């Protein structure tokens, strides 16, 4: 048996997390599935491996450029 799982919960407006106990892994999966955009997963899986690698490299390059720009902006304000 799986037993009880703790740590899945919701938070109220003040940010306090309310834990829920559940005895079914399917219930836990259902909670997380409602927040998953399956169209993004489908779009990624339609790509070939090289296309996925290219997209990953492009994203990493953009992140590096953004970090450089933030560092320049911080240096100018000092």
At residue 4, the pLDDT reads: 46
CA dihedral sign of residues 17, 18, 24, 26: negative
pLDDT at 1 over 60: no
Angstrom distance (rounded) from CA 19 to CA 29: 15
pLDDT at 12 over 90: no
Q: Is pTM beyond 0.75 here?
A: no
Q: pLDDT of 26-65, one tens digit each?
A: 888 888 888 888 898 899 899 999 999 999 999 999 999 9
């Amino acid at each position: 048996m799986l037993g009880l799982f703790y740590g899945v919960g919701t938070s109220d407006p003040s940010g306090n997390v309310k834990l829920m106990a559940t005895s079914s892994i399917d219930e836990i999966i259902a909670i997380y599935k409602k927040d998953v955009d399956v169209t993004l997963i489908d779009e990624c899986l339609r790509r070939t491996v090289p296309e996925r690698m290219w997209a990953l490299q492009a994203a990493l390059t953009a992140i590096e450029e953004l970090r450089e720009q933030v560092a320049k902006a911080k240096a100018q304000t000092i």
